[in-house]
Amino acid sequence: MSSHERDLASLLYRLALSYDGAVLGAALAYTAIRTLLGFRSTSKALRRVRSAPSFKVSDLRVLLDSDRSEPFDQDQKDRLVVVRGQVEAKSAVDGKNWKNLTNSNGVLVSPESGDKAVIIQEHKLVYTMNGGEFLDGVLIYEPSLEDLGQKRINILRTVPFVLVEGGWLPSPDYVIVNMDGSEHPLPLTTVYHRLQPIDVSPHTFLQAIFGHECPVGVLDEEKVLPLGKNISAIGICDFKNGIPEIKACKDLPYFLTEMTKDQVEVDLADKTKILFWSGIVIGSLSIGILGYSIFRNWNRWKEYRRQRQLQQPSRAPSSDADSLVVKMRK
C-alpha cells in the first residue's frame, strides 16, 4: 500500500468514527439498503428463471406454432426462455447451406492461439510507475504491482452468431443471438495470458526521477468465445420471418452463460440467501451503531443543558450584588 493510500485509509477511519460512529452507522445503513435491494432484484430474477421454459434449438418451432394458434398478446412477445446449444457463426447458416460450416468467412481468428471464434476480447493492462526513491541515481525502492498505477485498454470484436444443436449431423434449425444493448458478462475462454516487463531506457529513467508516470510492464490477455462451445442463452425470444431470435433481458444478471438452467437457479438461490442474511446482519449493525450514537449525543446534549442551567442562577445574584454596591456608593 502506498503512502497516499495509507493516508486516505487513515482519513476514512477517522471520518467513520466521528460523531460517536454516526457516519459509520449511516454508511452501514446505506449498504444494508443496497444489499436488500439487490436481494429483491435477485429473488425476482430467480422466480423468472424458474418459470421460464427450457428448449432445445429445434423445439423453438413449437413455441412459434403456439404463438400462431393463440391470440397475440404482450406476454407472448416478451416471453422469457432458456435455450442451450452450440456456438456457430451466422455466416455458416445463411441460406441454410451447412456446407459453410467449414468456411472461415465471417469468423474471427485469435491472433495468439489461432482459435476460431465469434467474440474476441483483447485486454491490455499497462503498469506505470510514478516516481520512486532514488539515491545517487540508483533506484532503491521499486513499487510492487499493488503500488503501481494501471491503465486499461479493452478491445472487443464480434461477428453475428447463432446457437445450433450439436452432433455430427446438425439440424437446420438455429436461433440468432442478438447482442444489441447487452452489458451482461460473457462466457469467454482465456487463450492467452502473459505479463511482460518493459526494459527501462535512459529516457524512462529520467522520467521516473522527475516523478512522471513510466510504463514498467504490460499484461496481455485474450479471451474468446470459440466455435462449438456449449452455452445457454436466457432471454426474450421473438421470431422474425419464422427464424427465432433471442435477446438479453435487462432485469436478469445472465444472458449467455456456460451454466445450465438448473445451475443458474442454484447460483441465484445461493446469491439470494447471501444477500438476505448480509442485509440483515449489516442492517442490525447499523441500527446498533446509530442507536449508540444517538444515545451518546442525547446524553451529551442533556449535560450541556444542565450546565447552562447551573450557570444562569450564579450569574443573576452577582448582577444583583453589583447593583446593590452601586446604590451604596451613591
pLDDT (tens digit per residue) in 147-173: 555 667 788 889 999 998 875 455 678
* 49 vs 110 pLDDT, higher one: 49
- pLDDT of 209: 56
- pLDDT of 28: 86
pLDDT greater than 50 at residue 41? yes
Mean pLDDT of 277-298: 86
pLDDT greater than 60 at residue 318? no
pLDDT band at 330 (very low <50, low <70, confident <90, very high): low
- pLDDT of 150: 63
* 104 vs 26 pLDDT, higher one: 26
Three cell numbers at 185? Answer: 458478462
Mean pLDDT of 273-286: 92
pLDDT band at 115 (very low <50, low <70, confident <90, very high): confident
Three cell numbers at 136? Answer: 545517487
**Helix H segments across the chain?**
3-16, 18-51, 60-69, 74-77, 202-209, 261-329
pLDDT greater than 70 at residue 122? yes
Angle between helices 261-329 and 18-51 (to 10 degrees): 160
Q: Which of 92, 96, 82 is nearest to 54 (CA)?
A: 82
234-238, 260-264, 301-305: least confidently modelled range: 301-305
- pLDDT of 196: 72
- pLDDT of 141: 44
- Residue reference for cell 446534549: 301
Mean pLDDT of 4-12: 54
pLDDT greater than 50 at residue 216? yes
pLDDT greater than 60 at residue 283? yes
pLDDT greater than 70 at residue 51? yes
- pLDDT of 291: 83
Instruction: Render pLDDT for 220-251 as a digit per residue (tens, 0 to 9).
Output: 889 999 998 999 999 998 888 878 899 999 88
pLDDT greater than 70 at residue 276? yes
Chain-wide mean pLDDT for the chain? 75
Three cell numbers at 27? Answer: 454508511
* Rounded alpha-carbon distances, angstroms, from residue 15 to 10, 19, 24, 289: 9, 9, 8, 14
Distance CA 55, CA 47 (A): 18
pLDDT greater than 50 at residue 102? no
Q: Which residues pair with 121 in a beta bridge?
A: 156, 223
pLDDT band at 99 (very low <50, low <70, confident <90, very high): very low
